[in-house]
Amino acid sequence: MTVRFAIVGVRNYAHSHYRRIKQLEEIGEGKLVAVVVSDPVKNAKRVEELKAEGITIYDSFEQLMREGKGKVDIITLPTSIPTHGELAAKAMLAGYDVIMEKPPVPTVDEMDYLRQVEKETGKFCSVGFQFMHSLTIHKLKKMLLEGELGKLQKITCRGYWPRLESYYKRNGWAGRVIWRSQLVLDGPVHNALAHYLQNMIFLAGQTPQDSAELKTVRAEMYRGHTYIQTDDTTCLEIETVDGIKIYFYVTHCSDVNWGPIMEIHTDQAVVTWDNKENTKITYHDGKVEVFDGEGTDPYLEVFRIPARKFRGELDQLPSTLDNTRSFQVAVNGMYLSSKKIREIPAEYISEFPEKGELRTLCKDIVQLMNRACSESKLLSDIGVEWAHPTEAVNVEGLTEFNPFK
C-alpha cells in the first residue's frame, strides 16, 4: 500500500517535507498527492510546478478537510508554531493521521488536549523530532535501560548556532514570544535546538518508549539581539523524578557554529554524541566503543515510520504526543523559572554587518557556557556579571501554562 500524503503549506520548512516525501516515492513507500496553498497567486510558480507533477492544490486547510477524504491518508504540518495544535486537532477529528512539525505546541494544556483528541479519534499524531527516529538514540536508550553503561547520573548538551538578521525576518513569528495574540515561545530551546532537549529527556526515561517525568526546572533566559522579543541565549537545569540531572546550554549569539554535542554521564562511562550521530563511549576502565547511524536518515524516518504505522507494520511510533509531553513541561517550566527574558547589557553585545545583514555577538559566551557546563551550573552560579539568578520551579503535575494570567 502506498501511503498518500498532503502537506499544509509551500514555504519555509514545507520544502523539507516535500523532499522527504519525494524520497519515499522513490522507494515506493509514499506519495505526495496534495498540497495546501493559501495564497496561490503569490505562490503561482510553485503551484504550477506542483500541478505539473499531478499534485492536487487546495486553497485552504478547510478545503482539504472536506475534499481530501478517501484521497489523503496522512497530513503533514510544517506550519507556524501557534497553528500546530488547532490544525492537528481538526485533522484528527476529520479522520486523518498527522505528522506535526516540532516543536509540538506552546503549552502543556494544549498538548494534553491533543492527546485526548488522539485517544478519542483513534488517529495518530506523530511529532517531527527527527532524532527520536534515529538508530543511535534508541541504541543508547536500550544500553542505558539494560545497564550496559552503568547507572545514569546526568546528561548535558551544548549548542552554539549563531543567527543573522534574516533568520528572525524569515516570517512573522520568528523571534517572538507572542504573535497575533497567540503564544509562540520561539527561541533556541523551543525551536532551533529543541531536538536535543527532547533527546535528553527521552534518554532519561525509564522504559523504551517513555520520556522522563520531570520534577523541577531552573532556567536563565537572555536576549542579545536587540530587535527580537524572545530569548537567544539560555541555560537550563532539569531534575527528573528519578533524580537524574539534565543541563542544556544554547545560544544564537556565538562567534562559532558548534555542536550540538550531548554527553551522557554514568558511574561507568561518558558518552559523547553529535548531530551527525557520531557516538563514542569511553568507559572508566579505558575501553572505547564507537558507532554511528549506519546510514539511516532520521529526517526521512520522520515520514517513513508513520507511513509504516499507517500500513499496520508497526504498533508504536517513536515520537508521540505522550513521550514529547515532558519536553513541553520543560519549556513551560523554563518560562516559569526565569520569569522574564533579560537583555544582556549593551557593553557585552557587539553588532556588525556580515553578508549584508546584521550579526550579533555576546562577549565570551562560548567560554562562559562551556565553563558552566563543566561545573554543572547555570551562568549566574559561576558569577557571570550580567547573569541573573533564578529559582527552580516544581513542575510535577503541571497541567496549565498561561502567562497572560
How far apart, in whole angstroms, are the C-alpha atoms of residue 118 and residue 139? Answer: 28
CA 217 to each of CA 58, 113, 222, 235, 335: distance values in angstroms, whole numbers, following the listed order:
43, 23, 16, 11, 9
Helices marked H in 291-380? 298-310, 325-338, 365-374
Low pLDDT (below 50) residues in the chain? none
pTM > 0.95: yes or no: yes
pLDDT of residue 285: 97
Instruction: Extract the C-alpha cell encoding 207.
Output: 522504559
| Cβ neighbours for 327, distance < 8 A, ≥ 6 positions apart | 103, 104, 129, 194, 197, 198, 201, 211
Q: Give me the phi and psi of 268, to 5 degrees please.
A: -125, -10
Q: How far is CA 5 from CA 118, 313, 344, in A?
A: 19, 17, 45
Domains of the chain in start order, with CATH, are 3-130 (3.40.50.720), 135-296+321-394 (3.30.360.10)
Per-residue model confidence (pLDDT) at position 355: 86
Give the pLDDT confidence score for residue 363 in this predicted structure. 98
Q: Rounded distance, CA 36 to CA 219, Å?
A: 38
String of DSSP letters for 244-279: -EEEEEEES--SS-EEEEEEEEESSEEEEEETT--E
Structure confidence by residue, pLDDT tens digits, 300-325: 999 999 999 999 999 999 999 999 99
Q: Which three cell numbers stand for residue 13?
A: 520548512
CA distance 308 to 160: 35
In tens, the pLDDT along 243-261 reads 999 999 999 999 999 999 9
Q: In sequence order, what are the beta bridge partners of 251?
A: 160, 233
Asked if 42 and 57 touch (Cβ cutoff 8 Å), the reply is no
